[in-house]
Amino acid sequence: MNDRRTHRVIRLFCAITITAALTLLYRHTPPQTPQSAEIRLTTAEAREGWLNLCGWAVTPVSESPMRIPTVWNTEIGQRWLMLQGKQGLSPEDHAGEAATRYCYHIENIAAEGMTADAWYAELVLCGDLLVGAQVYCAASPDSIQSVR
């Protein structure tokens, strides 16, 4: 009976020691900070090169000024915002700012039932900072997908 009590005390002591060690380890582990997804594309060549690195062969189509929305209260707006977040981009940090939308025809895409000339890539930049990117089929509004 005395041995049982001794073993119980030893197990309790071990459990307390392990718990204390884990608590100290957890408290002293510096928090992991997410890597910055800041992508600067300063020239037309840099924009096309970035899309090429993502696997897309592109030809420029258009460039147009826009303003980053301050509210994304539609379903499409919410989906677009979520898509950007999954790619590590944060357009909401630039809400209300002037931006430029760059549209590119994608030459190397083949989707079942879709013609290749209907697929596009878009980049949205505030200055030279990439804040939005997507690939989509002009014939299918639900086809929006990430660039990377």
What would the pLDDT profile of 99-132 be if each residue is shown by its tens digit? 999 999 998 877 656 666 689 999 999 999 999 9
Q: Of the candidates 118, 124, 119, which has an alpha carbon nearest to the alpha carbon of residue 135?
A: 119
Amino acid letter for position 125: L
In this structure, the dihedral spanned by the alpha carbons of residues 93, 69, 50 and 127, taken in order and rounded to 10 degrees, is -70
For the cut 90, the answer to whether the pLDDT of residue 67 exceeds it is yes
Q: Are 87 and 147 in contact (CB under 8 A)?
A: yes
Most confident by average pLDDT, 8-17, 26-35, 41-50 = 41-50
Distance CA(134)–CA(104), nearest Å, equals 11
Q: Could you list the beta-strand ranges (E) of the chain.
A: 58-67, 98-106, 119-126, 129-137, 140-145
Provide the token pair at 45.
Answer: 């060549």
Least confident of 31-35, 47-51, 102-106, 144-148: 31-35
Provide the token pair at 116.
Answer: 């290749």
Provide the token pair at 15.
Answer: 């459990």
pLDDT band at 88 (very low <50, low <70, confident <90, very high): very high
Q: Are 122 and 133 in contact (CB under 8 A)?
A: yes
